[in-house]
Amino acid sequence: MAKKCFVTKDKVEEIIKDIPTPFHIYDEAGIRDNAAKVKDAFSWNKGFREYYAVKANPNPFLINILKEYGCGLDCSSLTELMLANELDVTGDKIMFSSNDTPAEEFEYAAKIGATINLDDFTHIQFLEDTIGYIPKTMSLRFNPGGVYSVSNGIMDNPGDAKYGFTKEQLIEGYKILKSKGVERFGLHSFLVSNTVTNDYYPTLAKTLFELALEIREKTGVQLDFINLSGGVGIAYQPDQTPNDIGIIGEGVRKVYEEVLVPEGMGNVSIYTEMGRFMMGPYGGLVTTAIHEKHTYKEYIGVDACAVNLMRPAMYGAYHHITVLGKEDAPLTETYDVTGSLCENNDKFAIDRKLPKIDMGDILFIHDAGAHGFAMGYNYNGKLKSAEVLLKEDGSYKLIRNAETPKDYFATFKGLGIIDGLC
Ligand SMILES: *Cc1c(COP(=O)(O)O)cnc(C)c1O
């Protein structure tokens, strides 16, 4: 089965004349359509807000699109907070869901009024020692431990995850926060990543809604918001059925009405922190085939590498590849598609059935919009690529320049290296 590209070969060739490969390209129409659907899916909940997870793709042009749909931002580092603030996303429109948090990050988050979502029991004291008070709004991150199963055998191991409070710590934590004058309370949990099932959020919501009742019973704290965080996945494989956010929103509404409403908690706001679901399918990595190699296997070398998209190297993740202009050609070859890093895991695909690739063919690597460019690094002195936005009207815009050697050498300043080299 094939996956469709959101951009035509002709358009890509036009862009390449201006911006050489490799580059990431994003689909404005797709981002907008999806963001509108997310908003609609949870419109039954008065306080609903999607806090887009900045780490998935921090490009300000893309964030500004999401802002139009009422999204806040989920940040987990100083620079992500600074970026949010710079984009006029401030106060309770920022969720600060960090872990192993340095003092300066709590200081900055408090200064700009972000909602702080604590990852650990000891951070209550650490936060108070750091900023001198406990903010009026506070959220706590829950980790139930053990194994968490959803449906179709999808599961993860929260018990092995470094995040969150145990249930006992959570109960104690809310008591302490209450005694310190907190007025608005939240509960957060992120238990399974990249779930391709409409059941994850509803299942998680049920766990958290029931926990909310237990928290009220044991501490007297009535939660104001419940944050389902990220984990809503996308169909990387062409034969997977994508999630339907409308069905997911309805599923959450059903448990909300079953568990919370009868208990007089029908004004709890639902928050989400989706990253992958908001951006993943709406980005592609465009790269050119520059070498072929015939040894013990058949290799195609491209001009992108794991520095541009790390997921295959890091997780063995599948990213579908379309050879532009050969969408309907038979899949007669079996290739490893590689980048140029001196690392044997620098492969975008292993034993992939593809049409015959000729040198100069353009490859579109799908679903690179989230955790793609953003995970980039500079190993082997490789430079980060440009980013391009395919606008709704079909025109395109360069939204990030490719790095140059000068950027790479910039932090060596003072050694005089830059002046000599660039
Ligand atoms: C990574 C992350 C997200 C986003 O996860 P996705 O799977 O991309 O939706 C949300 N919240 C927190 C705290 C995260 O670390």
Taking residues 41-69, what's their average pLDDT? 98
Taking residues 317-322, what's their average pLDDT? 98
Q: Is residue 127 part of a domain?
A: yes
Average pLDDT of the chain is 96
Looking at the structure, tell me whether residues 267 and 309 fall in a common domain. no
Q: How many structural domains compose the chain?
A: 2
pLDDT of amino acid 155: 86
pLDDT of amino acid 414: 67
Domain end residue (candidates: 227, 250, 278):
278
Looking at the structure, tell me whether residues 254 and 297 fall in a common domain. no
Looking at the structure, tell me whether residues 264 and 380 fall in a common domain. no
- Could you give the CA distance from residue 84 to residue 86 in angstroms, rounded to a whole number? 5
Whether residue 114 has pLDDT greater than 80:
yes
Taking residues 346-363, what's their average pLDDT? 98
CATH of the domain at 183: 3.20.20.10
The rounded percent of the chain whose pLDDT value lies above 90 is: 95
pLDDT of amino acid 1: 65
pLDDT of amino acid 179: 98
pLDDT of amino acid 25: 99
Taking residues 402-415, what's their average pLDDT? 86
Instruction: Check if 229 has its Cβ closer than 6 Å to any atom of ligand 1.
Output: yes
Whether residue 108 has pLDDT greater than 80:
yes
The residue nearest atom 7 of ligand 1, judged by CA position, is: 231
Q: Is residue 316 part of a domain?
A: yes
Q: Is residue 58 part of a domain?
A: yes
Looking at the structure, tell me whether residues 61 and 179 fall in a common domain. yes
Lowest mean pLDDT among 56-70, 151-165, 357-371: 151-165
CATH of the domain at 401: 2.40.37.10
What are the helix and strand counts (H, E) for the chain?
13, 19
Question: In terms of DSSP bridges, do strands 184-188 and 225-227 run parallel, antiparallel, or are they unpaired?
Answer: parallel
Q: Is residue 422 part of a domain?
A: no
Place 299 in a pLDDT band, splitting at 50, 70 and 90: very high
Question: In terms of DSSP bridges, do strands 155-156 and 184-188 run parallel, antiparallel, or are they unpaired?
Answer: unpaired
Render pLDDT for 186-236 as a digit per residue (tens, 0 to 9).
999 999 999 999 999 999 999 999 999 999 999 999 999 999 999 999 999
Looking at the structure, tell me whether residues 14 and 132 fall in a common domain. no
The rounded percent of the chain whose pLDDT value lies above 70 is: 97
Place 154 in a pLDDT band, splitting at 50, 70 and 90: confident
Whether residue 16 has pLDDT greater than 90:
yes
Render pLDDT for 330-353 as a digit per residue (tens, 0 to 9).
999 999 999 999 999 999 999 999
Place 356 in a pLDDT band, splitting at 50, 70 and 90: very high
Cα angle 289, 290, 295; round to 5: 95
Residue 290 structural domain: 9-24+281-412
Q: Residue 126 C-alpha to ligand 1 middle, in angstroms?
A: 24
Instruction: Give the containing element (helix H, strand E) for 389.
Output: strand 386-390
Looking at the structure, tell me whether residues 177 and 294 fall in a common domain. no
Nearest one of 379, 364, 298 to 327, comparing CA atoms? 364
Whether residue 319 has pLDDT greater than 70:
yes
pLDDT of amino acid 57: 98
Place 412 in a pLDDT band, splitting at 50, 70 and 90: confident
Instruction: Give the containing element (helix H, strand E) for 203.
Output: helix 200-219
- With the most atoms of ligand 1 within 8 angstroms of its CB, the residue from 34, 189, 229 to mutate is 229
Q: Say which residue the tokens 């409070």 belong to.
A: 165
Ligand 1, residue 188: give the atom nearest the CA.
13
Whether residue 417 has pLDDT greater than 80:
no
Handedness of CA 284, 406, 87, 379 (dihedral sign): positive
Instruction: Check if 276 has its Cβ closer than 6 Å to any atom of ligand 1.
Output: yes
Domain end residue (candidates: 229, 247, 278):
278
Nearest one of 236, 379, 223, 383 to 303, comparing CA atoms? 383
Handedness of CA 324, 327, 332, 334 (dihedral sign): positive
pLDDT of amino acid 411: 86
Looking at the structure, tell me whether residues 311 and 268 fall in a common domain. no
Looking at the structure, tell me whether residues 259 and 332 fall in a common domain. no
The residue nearest atom 14 of ligand 1, judged by CA position, is: 230
Q: Is residue 352 part of a domain?
A: yes
Helix residue spans in 233-358 (DSSP H) = 245-255, 276-279, 311-315
Instruction: Check if 56 has its Cβ closer than 6 Å to any atom of ligand 1.
Output: yes
Looking at the structure, tell me whether residues 54 and 203 fall in a common domain. yes
Q: Is residue 17 part of a domain?
A: yes
Whether residue 161 has pLDDT greater than 70:
yes
- Could you give the CA distance from residue 89 to residue 103 in angstroms, rounded to a whole number? 22
Looking at the structure, tell me whether residues 307 and 251 fall in a common domain. no
Taking residues 257-282, what's their average pLDDT? 98
Distances (CA, A) of 104 to 72, 116, 133, 341: 22, 13, 15, 35
Instruction: Check if 275 has its Cβ closer than 6 Å to any atom of ligand 1.
Output: yes
Q: Residue 205 C-alpha to ligand 1 middle, in angstroms?
A: 16
Looking at the structure, tell me whether residues 225 and 285 fall in a common domain. no
Looking at the structure, tell me whether residues 208 and 324 fall in a common domain. no
Q: Is residue 319 part of a domain?
A: yes
Domain end residue (candidates: 253, 278, 303):
278
Q: Is residue 2 part of a domain?
A: no
pLDDT of amino acid 420: 64
